[in-house]
Structure formats: C-alpha cells, structure tokens
Structure 1
Amino acid sequence: MKTLVITGGTDGMGRALARDYLRRGDTVVIVGRDERKASTVPGATFIPADLSLISENRRVIERITNDFPDVDALVLCARYFRATRRETAEGIEGVFALEYLSRYLLSHGLTEGSRSGPRVIANVSGPGFPAGRIHWDDLMLRNTYSGVEAQFQAGRANDLLGVAYAARHTHISDRVRTRYVLINPGGVSTGFCGEFDAETAAHVESLKRYGKPVEEGIRPLAARVDAPPAAPLSAYAQHRPLSLDHPDFDPEAAGRLEELTRKLE
C-alpha cells in the first residue's frame, strides 16, 4: 500500500494517475482548485488550494505532514497556461508561481516536515526539451512575457530545482530517502487547463487530437513511482533516461536560482 500526493490531480494526467493508484487500493491525496472536478476521483482525499499562493502551499504542507506523515510519492502535475501575464496577490508572476515556486515549496516542505521525506518526488516538467531559459534579469517576465515563454522558463526552472534539491538533501541526513525524478511525458492528450491565445489554442487542439491517451502517458510516471531510481536525481524523456551532464542541469545556475527563490518565500 502506497500513499501518493498528486498536485493537479483533478484533471488530465494527474487525475488518470490518481484513478490508477486508487484502483490498486492505495491512498491518494489530490490537490487542486475545483471541487467539482475532484468529485470525478472518488476515493481520493481532496485538499482544495490555490497553489499559485505561497500561503496556500504552506497550508497544504502542514495538512499533509499532519494527516499523512508517511508519503511514498509526491507527484507534481499542476499547470495552467496564461496567454496574458498575471501576478498573484503575493506579487509573483502566475505561471512561475504555480509551475515552479509551488513545486519548490512542496518538494522541500514535505521532505523537511515529515519523518523521512517521500520515497520519490516526480516532477512532471520538460527535461530534454531544447527550448526555455531563465530570464535572470526579468524573472517575473514583466518586460518579456508570452504564455509560451512563461511555460518554457518554468520548465527550465524545474530542471534546476531538481539539481538544487539533490544538492541540499543528499547529504543532509541519513533519514532522507527521497529520489527526485524529472519526467517529460512527451505529447499527451491531457487536460490542458488555461487561457489560450488563438495560436496556442490551435496547438492544444492538435495535441488533444493526436497526442497519446493519458492512460498511456502516465506509464513512465507510474514506473518511476513504483520503482524509484537509485540516484538522488534523475531525468527522463518518457522511459528514456537523460544525462545530467548537460547545461540544463548546471549546478551553478541551480544554486543561483535557489538563492533568488529563497528571497521570494
């Protein structure tokens, strides 16, 4: 029996993964905003939260560490495309807040707040994808915003999050057992939540039509949850392991981003 926490577990790949593990008889906690969508995952524990807010992430961490002290897997799936720039009430660009900062807070928070940390953290992002960069001088994309660029930056930031997480926790204590896994699931016909411009909407419709069904798309994700890799950090493009000896996983850049992120907490 496993205990899984899945963000974005009310839709798309997150929901498909939740249903799969519930069928196995495991305990599944889903985190999302929509109670109606959560009702389509009967048997799961639903924690309603706006994960674009730091305060909400902290509340979720406290709830999980109190009610589910032994988490086997934290699966980070929550995404929301924004064609136009939006800042949260806390002053953080919305895509960066949801798709990177929330994953940073939950990854470290559930590791440091529980007895031993999750066995595996599976961050569903975009390792191996050639696009994307960190806008070091404009992290909140005030001057350079596009919905696609915001997604690309979040993907690259998650690559660096994995590197920084492993560096912080690998030698911190013998009790930390967590394996951090970055997974690019490829083209999947998933939920695609968001507010799209015309060009991106057309691309989304194409993915919905020609992408892999979510039941197939979750297979590499479930494989890593069921059998976490031995290494503290690993990255996969679907089932194919990726080399971490690449500029996308630069330790210096990871440290620089973590330092900037701590100033946002």
Structure 2
Amino acid sequence: MVKTVIVTGSSSGIGRDVARAFVERGDNVVLNGRDEDKLAEVAAGLGAPDQVAAVAGDIGIPATGVALVRAAVERFGGVDVLVNNAGIFGAKPFVDVTEQDLDSYLNGNLKGTYFTTQAVVRLLREQARGGSIVNLGTVLIDHAIAGVPASAALVSKGGIHALTTSLAAELAADGIRVNAVAPGFIRTPLFGDGDEAATGRFALLNRIGEVAETTAAVLYLVDAAFTTGHIFPVDGGYLSGRAA
C-alpha cells in the first residue's frame, strides 16, 4: 500500500536521503525545510513530481506542523507516517551557554518535534487507521563525550527520546507506533569537516556512518508492525564498545 510520509528537515543530510528512499519505493512524501529555494531544488531532484509536495517553514513554529498536515491531506488525501528529522546540533561549554542558545535547541529540536507530532496525531486519530512516527535522537544521550560539550543540544535531544517512549504508551490504543533512530556519527553537513578517522575510532566498526544506513533504520521502524517505544541506535557499535 502506498503511504504518505511527512519528513521534516528534508532539504539535506539524513532527511533528504529518507525522502529519497520513500519516493523510490513508491510512497508520497511531503518535504520540509526552512529554505524554500533549496527545498524546491530537492523536490525537483527527486524526479517524481506526482509523489512530492513541499512546505517551507520552521518547525519550531507550531503553524508549520499544521501546514504540513494540510498539504498532505490536500495533495495526497491523508498521512500515514511522520519522520521528525529536522534539528540542530552543536558543541559549547556548559558555562558559556546563553539563554538564547538553549532556547534555540529547545525550539528547533524538542518543540519542533513535539508540535509537529501533535498536528499529525490529531489527523491520525481522525483517520482511525493507525500510523507510524519515527523521531531522530542521538546515541550521545546514553554515552556522552568529554571532548564534545553539547549539554544544550543533548537536553533537547534527550527530551525527544523521552517523548518517544511516552507517546508510544499513550498512542498505542490508537494503533499509532512511535519509535526513534539514535544516530552515532554520520557523514552529513552537520559533521562538516570533522576528523573521520579519529571520530570513527569511537565505534566498534571503526568508521563513521553514512546517511543511507540511517535511512535503512527509519524504513525498518516504519514497517515493523510489532515495534513501538524503541530507541534504535545506528552507531557502528559506539554504545557497545570501542574499536581500540
């Protein structure tokens, strides 16, 4: 059955690849990003105009989630899947974090995920056919690194992990499954020009990950009908041990 999928933050990195994968398997996708021109470029690059819609906007603003749902209904007749990928990450020593810094992470990560999910869940309940929500967290919630002081970012991502398990319980009776993918170090624009060799040694597989490997986990969780409340690490064994 063809699904309709909303993917936030789909103008680059993990979100863009997730959108590609859904389109390639024949699903409809509603793209989202803050840069309208870049979003249009991604939509055109997917090469399937009948399967793609795009809504530019900051998910930290609740109205953006409402607009994404509206676009999905008007273009494709409903929603089956939400992938909450949009987010920001960065390192800054704890004592240097400003209120503006913290608000930026809470709005861009936690608040955006929370209110976009809220808009989608309202529709999923109205449709009464269940659904699947996949959030993007990080393995650094469970195993921080002294050299990556990212308390502000991790507080917001930790909230996403908590939201995942809480909603899995609350929404199970509606047939709505809620899971999360927790990436390790992945080759995306957020990784930038980081030292791949040094960073790769944090994982048992002795390398950083690729976006397609994160996408595979998202697709699995979307289709895994007996899985909910699961935080799925995609980290090359980072949580389990060290390559050396």
Q: TM-score normalized by structure 1?
A: 0.68
Supply the distance in 2 between the matched residues of 1:228 and 1:128 (Cα, whole angstroms).
25
- Structure 2 unaligned regions, length at least 5: 201-206, 237-244
Contact 1:14 1:77 in 2 (8 A): yes
Partner amino acid for 2:22? Y
- Deviation at 1:27? 0.8
Contact 1:120 1:228 in 2 (8 A): no
1:102 and 2:104 equivalent? Answer: no
1:165 and 2:167 equivalent? Answer: yes
- Deviation at 1:19? 1.4
- Deviation at 1:233? 1.7
Measured at CA, do residues 59 and 26 of structure 1 come closer, stay the same or move farther in structure 2, by a change above 3 Å?
A: closer
> What secondary structure, in the 3-state scheme, does the structure 2 residue paired with 1:189 have?
coil
> 1:137 corresponds to which residue?
none
Supply the distance in 2 between the matched residues of 1:23 and 1:69 (Cα, whole angstroms).
20
Structure 2 counterparts to residues 79-90 of structure 1, below 5 A? 79-81=87-89, 85=98, 87=100
- Deviation at 1:33? 0.8
Count of aligned pairs between the two proteins? 212
1:111-166 Cα shifts (integer Å, max 9, x gaps)? 1224136621110112574257xxxxxxxxxxxxx981121101210111012212
1:81-138 Cα shifts (integer Å, max 9, x gaps)? 36664749xxx81211121111111222211224136621110112574257xxxxxx
Partner amino acid for 2:54? F
> 2:212 corresponds to which residue?
215
Partner amino acid for 1:13? I
> 1:142 corresponds to which residue?
none
Supply the distance in 2 between the matched residues of 1:118 and 1:11 (Cα, whole angstroms).
29
Supply the distance in 2 between the matched residues of 1:230 and 1:191 (Cα, whole angstroms).
33
- Deviation at 1:72? 2.3
> 2:234 corresponds to which residue?
238
> 2:240 corresponds to which residue?
none
Q: Give the number of the structure whose residues are more often helix, by fraction.
A: 2
> 1:17 corresponds to which residue?
18
Aligned-residue RMSD, C-alpha: 3.2
Residue among 142, 146, 163 paired with 1:130? 142
Supply the distance in 2 between the matched residues of 1:229 and 1:223 (Cα, whole angstroms).
10
Q: Percent identity among equivalent residues? A: 19
- Structure 1 unaligned regions, length at least 5: 133-145, 194-199, 241-265
Q: TM-score normalized by structure 2?
A: 0.73
Contact 2:11 2:38 in 1 (8 A): yes
- Deviation at 1:56? 3.0
